[in-house]
A and B are shown apart, each in its own frame.
Chain A
Amino acid sequence: MKYTLIICCLLFSTLSKADIPIFEKFDRFEETVLSNANSDTTYVINFWATWCAPCVKELPYFDEYGKKNANKPVKVLLVSMDFKSRIQSQLVPFIEKKKIESEVVVLADPKQSAWIDKVDSNWSGAIPATIFIVNGKKYFKEKSYHSLQELENEINQLSK
């Protein structure tokens, strides 16, 4: 019985680790995430990393927003800039500890100078940064959010 439990735990942990897709190439990320946007869905795509303090601070508001709107056509995607070598040691434990429910992906394409402009030409490359796709229109914000309310206000404003 004890062993079954351990095996189950092991299995579960491998599964959850395998759950984090890694995009090695920006073009794949763009095809899968950005170009596939449904015009009737609101997308909130946050660029962050576990080592980025302001990102970690605002992350719960994004996750909360996703949970609160689970029954609506809303998708929150957390795009991690964590180094590939730290996914198992930092990213996975972080997600488990903070009980993050939103989908997390890793964008690991090191050729940043080539893809930052493709996300948005106004992006300096500093994180946190967020893309909102509302009614099929893309908005880019290089800023931090300090409450769920502030994030909701932003999205409501963009929806008008």
Chain B
Amino acid sequence: MKSFIITILTLFAFSATAQYKIGDIATDFSLKGTDDKMHSLADFKNAKGYIVIFTCNHCPYSVAYEDRIIALQSKYGSLYPVIAINPNDPRAYEIDSFENMKVRAKEKGFNFPYLFDDGQKIFPQYGATKTPHVFLLDKNRKVQYIGAIDDSTQPEGVEEKFVENAIADLEAGKKPKTNYTKAIGCSIKTI
């Protein structure tokens, strides 16, 4: 009986914090970008995969990675486009509002779509818990890697480029050797 209750509780816990696992098929979406256009994964007809990054304006960890996200798009964008999504409720952080996203995208010269998860419907499906949080998908939207961009918040300390290595493995027709990593981040705000 006790184990039965534990099973039920465990199931409940999992359903409450559903998160894509490696191998799951990620949902597509249609979200507005700072260019005022709607964007979907399906728009990228020639993509061999997608680098979906939940990120935002207010979080210093996100800010610390902005240049590296731009670099990822420059290097891989034609085959593995970066799609950045701000999952935060701007009522929690005014700086994460759609208008402020436009300001930041322009300031930094974002070379990738920066989308607003209006109504906060997409991030819970992916199971993003924080910013920045990366989901690397293959061309069938199958989740191949979840976690951090690399192994060091300080760019000069980077030894392992997780996302780049995962893409290299996919390109070589292999499963990413490292498919799950963790990093400190700002928890996603809901109200």
The chain A residues found within 8 Å of chain B, CB to CB, are: 49, 51-54, 81, 83, 110-114, 116-117, 123-128
Q: Which of B60, B147, B153, B187 contacts A110 (CB 8 A)?
A: B153
Interfacial chain B residues near A113, Cβ < 8 Å: 147-148, 151, 162, 181-183
Q: Which of B60, B183, B189 contacts A112 (CB 8 A)?
A: B183
A52 to B88, CA, bound (A): 13
With a 10 A CB-CB cut-off, give which of B59, B60, B151, B152 has the most chain A CB atoms.
Answer: B60
In the complex, besides A81-B184, A113-B147, A113-B181, 10 extra interface pairs with C-beta distance below 8 angstroms are A51-B58, A53-B92, A54-B189, A83-B60, A110-B157, A112-B153, A113-B182, A117-B182, A125-B184, A127-B184
Q: Which of A83, A110, A123 contacts B182 (CB 8 A)?
A: A123
Interfacial chain A residues near B157, Cβ < 8 Å: 110-111
A125 and B182 contact, CB distance less than 8 A:
yes
Interfacial chain B residues near A114, Cβ < 8 Å: 151
Interfacial chain B residues near A128, Cβ < 8 Å: 187
B93 and A53 contact, CB distance less than 8 A:
yes
A81 to B60, CA, bound (A): 11
The chain B residues found within 8 Å of chain A, CB to CB, are: 58-60, 64, 92-93, 129-130, 147-148, 151-154, 157, 162, 181-189
Interfacial chain B residues near A111, Cβ < 8 Å: 151-152, 157
A113 to B179, CA, bound (A): 12
A125 and B151 contact, CB distance less than 8 A:
no
A41 to B31, CA, bound (A): 50
Interfacial chain A residues near B162, Cβ < 8 Å: 113
B59 and A125 contact, CB distance less than 8 A:
no
A160 to B84, CA, bound (A): 45
A77 to B154, CA, bound (A): 25
With a 10 A CB-CB cut-off, give which of B59, B147, B183, B188 has the most chain A CB atoms.
Answer: B183
A124 to B147, CA, bound (A): 9
B129 and A124 contact, CB distance less than 8 A:
yes
A21 to B70, CA, bound (A): 35
Q: Which of B58, B92, B183, B188 contacts A116 (CB 8 A)?
A: B183
Q: A53-B93, A110-B157 are in contact. Are A124 and B186 (CB under 8 A)?
A: no
Interfacial chain B residues near A54, Cβ < 8 Å: 187, 189
Interfacial chain B residues near A81, Cβ < 8 Å: 184
Report the nearest B residue to A47, measured CB to CB: B184
Interfacial chain B residues near A51, Cβ < 8 Å: 58-60, 186
Q: A124-B129, A126-B129, A128-B187 are in contact. Are A112 and B182 (CB under 8 A)?
A: yes
A-B contact pairs, 26 of them (CB 8 A): A49-B60, A51-B58, A51-B60, A52-B186, A53-B93, A54-B189, A83-B153, A111-B157, A112-B148, A112-B153, A112-B182, A113-B148, A113-B151, A113-B182, A113-B183, A116-B182, A117-B182, A123-B182, A124-B130, A124-B182, A125-B130, A126-B130, A126-B184, A126-B185, A127-B185, A127-B187
